[in-house]
Amino acid sequence: MKKSVKLLVITAIAAAALSACSKAPAKDSAASKEGNYTIGIAQFAEHGSLDNCREGFIQGLKEEGIEDGKNLTIMYENAQADGGTGSQIINNFIAKKTDLICAIATPMAQAAYSGAKKTDIPVIYTAVTDPVAAALAKEDGSSVGEVTGTSDKLPVEKQLEMIRKILPDAKTIGILYSTSEVNSEAAIAEYKKAASNYGFEIVEGPVSATADIPLATDNLLGKVDCLNNLTDNTVVSSLPLILDKAGKKNIPVFGSEIEQVKIGCIAAMGLDYVDLGKQTGKMAAKVLKGEAKASELKYEVIKDAAFYGNTKVAENLGITLPSELTDSAAELFKEIK
Amino acid sequence: MSIILGVLEEGLVYAIMALGVYITYKILDFPDLSVDGTFPLGGALTAVLVLAGVSPLTALLLAFVAGALAGCITGIIHVKLKVRDLLSGIIVMTALYSVNLRLAGKSNVPFFNSDTIFENPFINKVIPQGLSDVSVIVILAVIVLIVKILLDLYLKTRSGYLLRAVGDNETLVTSLAKDKGTVKILGLAIANGLAALAGSVYCQQKGFFEISMGTGTIVIGLANVIIGTKLLKRFGAIKATTAVIIGSIVYKACVSIAIFLGMEASDLKIITSALFLGILVISNGREKKVKKHA
């Protein structure tokens, strides 16, 4: 017993010595003088939508006069979808006394809130579909602490309306989603509720890991008229494979945001994650400048969904995108990237 | 300072699980993958219980029991149904994914505002506000020490000796007229009980359950056990259980250093693994020197 206590102390000292070696540069960056900010960006996983959020966030700050390299130091870390690493990243930001933590995606936002609760570091999140279900906001949208941000809730009704316009005869929509992502479950429930209003039936394709996707896709493609994508991290990461399989069967795949349409989904009524990031960046700027506390800001959602289409994909599938959609499109892609 | 606290926090939580892996991997020589399922099992159960108003301490105990039951199942599949060790672990781990999802109701269950072993009226009264960071470490250290001492004591009992004998020399156990199968099942039960206990502590500390929290648990567990026992091998007097706890802290320190160095986010894992390799090579070198001098 004594021995083990002693040893624990020794390791603690060793750890202290180790981190002391690399501590010197950190102190400089943490020194936040007036109008000179240090922020930590913690992103849960690596994929297009979340990357866009991050870029938008930095742009949003810049538009408010807080610019990377000038009066802003950015520390960026990615947890590679590992919760344990996520909390260590947050600990690191807290240790470096950043002025603000930006957390991207739900698990990261929860880890950041949980970690920073005891400090006075505000947390601004983005790409959290349902902040209320994630216990980051109260029912009325107000904050539960020094934490606020933006939600990437999907415009489900508008998406279904769009699918109906493009595919007047379709009856079934297949949706692949991973059972490990709470955002997707919420979205599926909403789709199921709204589908009948547009004469659709939703067929679920649940997967528990990336490895299940090929089989689940094959299974689903045999049953449905089209596929629809959520912002599910696991599924989006495997989108090229799904698009390839669907393309061979001539089944259109609808996306939920711009990046998905760029790489080969036929169309999406969706979010622009760069815009979402920008909106988040502006909230962060308010907090950094001291204009408002994070706890005073309600979480925000993007109000307008925009139409994105890919004419090349439509042509390959022998479908014409109706002009009422393309005329008001936020962006039309003529090739598959 | 708060980085070290962070490392200790994470390291101590995973040490509980690693002590379980030590039993299966080092003592029983059984590569048990079920911990990838039992670690989140403890978390799922805890989230549900705590939200239902059950005391967080009771949640810890029930998590241990649930994990032990799951461990029994792995053991029974292996011993009675004669399924290979690795495969019986995989079967239970896979099944537990669904069980955990069913149990929790959804893949992410936050309970930030509920009482936990780290935050409850009693703790808040006893420990002053400013020390709340340290209180987490103290509570974790107490739990880890209790687990370690109980495990050390257990390994000295008759049943504990049999457990060790099964890993070393199965024939001996049979010649003592004891059923080695039962001993294996018991070992797996304890190991997975500890994994679930760790999962429960982990969730109580973070304030939410997430279904993906179990992925890679066994990898961390094995690394903790191997780093710990390797690194402290030359200190003959140190108990293996202590070595495993230190191994867990060293493991998390490596990850933390990699993050702290602030390299490109994508390089995080390779730096972590380079640190592991460095530690193992250094401890190898030391071992040889000691032998030469002896």
Q: Average model confidence (pLDDT) for chain A?
A: 87
Asked if the structure places residue A6 within a domain, the reply is no
Number of domains in chain A: 2
pTM: 0.82
Residues A248-252: contacts with CB under 8 Å, at least 24 apart: A249/A221, A250/A317, A250/A318, A251/A221, A251/A224, A251/A225, A251/A226, A251/A227, A252/A166, A252/A167, A252/A226, A252/A227, A252/A313, A252/A317, A252/A319
Domain that holds residue A224: 156-270+305-333
Q: Flag if B4 and A134 touch (Cβ within 8 Å).
A: no
The answer to whether residue A81 is domain-embedded is yes
Q: Please give the residue of chain A at the shortest CA–CA distance from B134.
A: A118
Provide the CATH number for the domain around residue A247.
Answer: 3.40.50.2300
Q: Which of A133-142, B65-74, B268-277 comes out lowest in average pLDDT?
A: B268-277
pLDDT value, residue A33? 47
Within a domain: A284 = yes
Does residue A190 sit in the same domain as residue A322?
A: yes
How far does B170 lie from chain A, in Å, by closest CA? 31
Average pLDDT on A293-308 reads 89
Closest to B2 (Cβ–Cβ): which among A4, A91, A135? A91
Q: Which of residues 210-229 of B touch A (CB under 8 A)?
A: 210-213, 215-216, 220
Q: What is the pLDDT of residue A323?
A: 92
Percent of chain A beyond pLDDT 70?
90
Residues A311, A200 within the same domain: yes
Min mean pLDDT across A24-28, A216-220, A270-274 is at A24-28
- Rounded distance between C-alpha atoms, residue B96 and residue A231, angstroms: 26
A214, A266: one domain: yes
Report yes or no on A111 lying in a domain. Answer: yes
Same domain flag for A189 and A174: yes
Mean pLDDT along residues B42-51 = 96
Q: Check CB contact of B141 with chain A, cutoff 8 Å.
A: yes
The pLDDT mean for chain B works out to 89
Task: Tell me, yes or no, whether A4 lies in a domain.
Answer: no
Contact predicate A302/A279, CB 8 Å? yes
Distance between CA atoms of A107 and A118, rounded to whole angstroms?
18
Q: Are residues A199 and A310 in the same domain?
A: yes
Would you state the pLDDT for residue B42?
97
Per-residue confidence (pLDDT) for residue B58, from 0 to 100: 96
pLDDT tens-digit series, residues B105-136: 988 899 988 899 988 888 877 777 667 678 88
Contact status of B8 with chain A (Cβ, < 8 Å): yes
Asked whether residue A144 falls in the same domain as residue A168, the answer is: no
Q: Does residue A18 sit within a domain? A: no
**What pLDDT is recorded for position B288?**
53
Q: Is A45 within the bounds of a domain?
A: yes
Contacts of B250 in chain A (CB under 8 A): 11
- B250 or B133: which carries more pLDDT confidence? B250
Residue-level pLDDT at B21: 96
A-contacting residues of B 253-272, CB under 8 Å? 253, 255-257, 259-262, 265-266, 268-269
- Shared domain for A86 and A209, answered yes or no, is no
pLDDT reported for residue B99: 96
Distance set, CA A336 to CA A51, A181, A228, A320, B272 (Å): 19, 28, 18, 16, 37
Mean pLDDT of the A71-93 span: 90
Q: Which of A4, A7, A114 sits opposite B207 (nearest CB)?
A: A114
Q: What is the pLDDT of residues A231-282, one digit of tens each?
A: 888 898 899 999 999 999 999 999 988 889 999 999 999 888 999 999 999 9
> In this structure, are A117 and A264 located in the same domain?
no
A20 in a domain, yes or no? no
Same domain for A124 and A222:
no
A72 with A215, same domain: the answer is no
Q: What is the pLDDT of residues B128-153, one digit of tens each?
A: 766 767 888 999 999 999 999 999 99
CB contact under 8 Å between B145 and A4, yes or no, is: yes
Residues in B touching A120 (Cβ below 8 Å): none
